């Protein structure tokens, strides 16, 4: 096991997809990288629906070993109406724990020192990072520690709006190639989903924070309904949940006492405010953050601002549209037309935005 460096070039907080990719990119460039995570195991507990767009293959071409199945279409149901089919709508259902472990191995293979069961003790105003009662002062700090990032909070970048999600794993009566979406005024600020993983499905609901107290009953009702239809089994195999940031992109560059700080993934507010998707943007932004760290430490003065601009180029159009639709829905009421206009599978979502 590698010894911890006394003064690492880069400390990465969080070893999800964003942190692992950042650590790998920085270490591959020859930097000394220490990456930590408070969890005991990569990717566990699973706190996402595990669906990624098939275009993620362009970033990570070897996903087959961590893929449970592929999907080819989406079925969207608005209240009791018949399903609207969107095809093609290709995706991959990951084994998220295996996916995260695979990315961590790549970071370690690149030379990063990766440590689990290692919570962040704190970030001081001078840029020092406290880990296991030891203070380290990196040359650059990368926050990839999720929607309620402590690194982001240290530089005043905080996600302010959240959806609360609850998800269970249930048996599927038969395999399916479609992702199911359930839109309803009963799910304010969110939606329901059933995503297939072979003979098991991830069944979940997300709602705005004001409605989070109803999540358990809402999900139970959806589960009961699908079980009565013979689509899913009645036994709950696993349960998870957590917050999803939906307030939009944060400026991802800051400083603490001369230590430069970058944010990536959920910590940078890159989760899609409508769909809640965040794995692909975490992978992309993490790799960019690691490369920007290497370039800046290598002497390219504009590398960190370039990172912020590249994030904006990649994500702002999509996130801005989603935020606009989210605000429209909240202001107009959730009738069937409004629900369709606020969902990515419908042409109305992509229509010209009103002022």
Distance CA 286, CA 292 (A): 10
Helical packing angle, 96-109 and 17-28, nearest 10°:
20
Residue 44: predicted pLDDT? 86
Distance CA 24, CA 41 (A): 18
Report the Cα 315 to chain-centroid distance in Å.
13
CATH topology for 10-45+96-160+248-328 is FAD/NAD(P)-binding domain (3.50.50)
Instruction: Spell out the residues 6+ positions from residue 33 whose beta carbon is closer than 8 angstroms to its own.
Output: 8, 9, 10, 11, 12, 23, 26, 27, 107, 111, 112, 113
Cα distances (Å, whole numbers) of residue 320 to 58, 141, 330, 351: 24, 27, 15, 14
Q: Where in the chain is the domain with CATH 3.50.50.60?
A: 10-45+96-160+248-328
User: What pLDDT digit, counting tens, does each position of 30-87 carry?
Assistant: 999 999 999 999 988 888 899 999 999 999 989 999 999 999 999 999 998 999 999 9
Distance CA 285, CA 282 (A): 5
Is residue 79 left, alpha or beta, with left meaning phi > 0 and alpha meaning psi from -120 to 50?
Answer: left
- The DSSP string of 231-284 is SEEEEEEEEEEEEEE-S-PPP-EEEETTEEEEE-GGGGT-S-TTT---HHHHHH
pTM score over 0.85 = yes
Residue 45: predicted pLDDT? 83
Assess contact for 209 and 215: CB atoms under 8 A: no
Residue from 141, 134, 139, 137 nearest 155 by CA = 141
Please list the ranges in the chain whose pLDDT falls under 50: none
CATH class of the domain at 70-91+161-245: alpha beta
Helix or strand run (H / E) with residue 61? none
Is residue 196 left, alpha or beta, with left meaning phi > 0 and alpha meaning psi from -120 to 50?
Answer: beta
Distance CA 162, CA 154 (A): 19
Radius of gyration from C-alpha coordinates of the chain: 20
Strand partners, 11: 34, 141
Residue 287: predicted pLDDT? 98
Residue 154: predicted pLDDT? 98
Distance CA 249, CA 270 (A): 5
Residue 1: predicted pLDDT? 60
Q: Is 291 buried (19+), middle (13-18) or exposed (0-12) by CB count in 10 A?
A: buried
Q: Where in the chain is the domain with CATH 3.30.9.10?
A: 70-91+161-245
Q: What are phi and psi of 2, to 5 degrees?
A: -70, 145
Assess contact for 220 and 203: CB atoms under 8 A: no
């Amino acid at each position: 096991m590698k010894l911890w460096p006394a003064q690492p070039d880069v400390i990465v907080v969080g070893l999800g997809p964003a942190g692992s990719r950042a650590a790998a990119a920085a270490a591959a460039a020859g930097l000394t990288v220490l990456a930590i995570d408070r969890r005991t195991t990569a990717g566990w507990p699973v706190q996402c629906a595990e669906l990624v767009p098939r275009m993620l293959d362009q970033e990570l071409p070897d996903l087959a070993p961590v893929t449970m199945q592929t999907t080819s279409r989406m079925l969207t149901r608005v209240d009791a109406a018949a399903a609207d089919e969107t095809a093609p709508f290709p995706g991959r259902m990951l084994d998220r724990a295996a996916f995260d472990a695979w990315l961590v191995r790549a970071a370690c293979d690149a030379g990063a020192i990766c440590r689990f069961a290692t919570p962040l003790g704190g970030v001081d105003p001078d840029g020092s990072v406290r880990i296991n009662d030891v203070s380290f002062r990196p040359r650059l700090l990368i926050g990839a520690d999720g929607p309620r990032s402590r690194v982001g909070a240290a530089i005043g970048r905080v996600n302010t709006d959240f959806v609360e999600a609850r998800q269970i794993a249930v048996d599927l009566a038969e395999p399916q190639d479609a992702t199911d979406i359930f839109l309803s005024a009963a799910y304010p600020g969110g939606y329901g989903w059933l995503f297939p993983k072979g003979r098991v499905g991830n069944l979940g609901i997300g709602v705005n924070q004001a409605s989070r107290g109803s999540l358990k009953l809402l999900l139970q009702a959806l589960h009961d309904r699908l079980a009565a239809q013979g689509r899913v089994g009645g036994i709950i195999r696993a349960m998870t949940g957590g917050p999803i940031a939906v307030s939009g992109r944060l400026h991802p560059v800051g400083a603490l006492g001369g230590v430069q700080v970058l944010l990536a993934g959920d910590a940078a507010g890159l989760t899609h405010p409508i769909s809640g998707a965040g794995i692909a943007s975490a992978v992309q932004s993490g790799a960019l953050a690691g490369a920007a760290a290497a370039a800046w430490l290598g002497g390219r003065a504009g590398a960190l601002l370039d990172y912020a601009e590249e994030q904006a180029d990649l994500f702002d159009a999509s996130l801005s549209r989603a935020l606009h639709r989210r605000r429209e829905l909240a202001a107009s009421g959730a009738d069937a037309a409004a629900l369709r206009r606020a969902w990515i599978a419908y042409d109305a979502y992509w229509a010209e935005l009103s002022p």
